[in-house]
Structure 1
Amino acid sequence: MNAIKGFFEWIMGWVIFGVIVVTIGWGVSFFSDDEDNTTKPAKETTISEDEKLIEVRKSYWDNGNLKEETPYKKSYSLGYKKVKTELVPHGIAKTYYENGVLRVEDPYVDGERDGIVKFYDENGKLESTHEYKNSKKEGKHVYYYSDGTEMDVEYYHDDVQVQAPVL
């Protein structure tokens, strides 16, 4: 009886906001319950060659354009008497304007923002770049004019703004 109760609790955890979960083999896909069945999948799952689950979660604007996509991977950590697994962002997360133009490129490594985050305007021109290490501001943050030249530069070390670069 507990196994049945646990199964239904697991299923109910996946049925959110009118979305039906379909599980096939290793993959899990979300599809809207729209009657016309024209809605794109909100989630795509693939398996890498080393059999670690890699999942790309996608959402779409009402006009059908991609709104955001974030890659995830399985992460393992030690918990009390067991190994805890969870999906964490890993790779370049992307957010788009409603017109389909790229808005933000946000790099992640093992769940931590790590690398150069790039922001773009609605025409696709680079607005700013921000360096991160372990989810903290670290390094150079540059703001650009619409012609691409540097407007302002800020420096950060360990999430705190500093006057000059820290070597």
Structure 2
Amino acid sequence: MGNNSNRPLFKRIAALSLATVAVGVFAAGGANADASKKSRVEVIELQLKDLEYESFDLGKPGPSLGDMTVYCATAVENGRNVGRGAGTSQVVSARGGKVTSQAVITIELKRGSLTMQSLRPEEASSVDMAITGGTGAFKDARGSVRYWDINTPQERLRAEILH
């Protein structure tokens, strides 16, 4: 069968190799944990004014799959125009008289843009959206955005952006 005198040496090398791999895995996990602790949260609160809004009944008459709404508004912070927001909502479910749309919105500010997406039941006056990307100062952004008073003159949002 061969020389058994090499077995203890082989076991020590294998154990050392496994220990080295384990230390590397734990160190990498620790680095990720430290990176997440260093994330900072930026809060942006905006009001949306001068809303342009148009709905398109694209399928069967009345609410049906594919119907679309398109909107654009001025983003206002502390009474100053700071950018604009625009998006679309498309009906993805209209079962039993309950309409749900998928909304995709982009807010464009001087420092960059934020994109977000969510499902929205038609009757909801507020919605939470996931930040799906961004540009400029927001290129690595993640987080969430809450909209209130949707489709009213008081519509506003609060973005909690993780950098």
Q: TM-score normalized by structure 1? A: 0.32
- Provide the TM-score with structure 2 as the length reference: 0.33
Q: For the pair shown, which has the larger CA radius of gyration, 1 or 2? A: 2
- Of Structure 1 and Structure 2, the greater strand share is in 1
Higher helix share: 2
Higher relative contact order (CA 8 A, sep 6+): 2
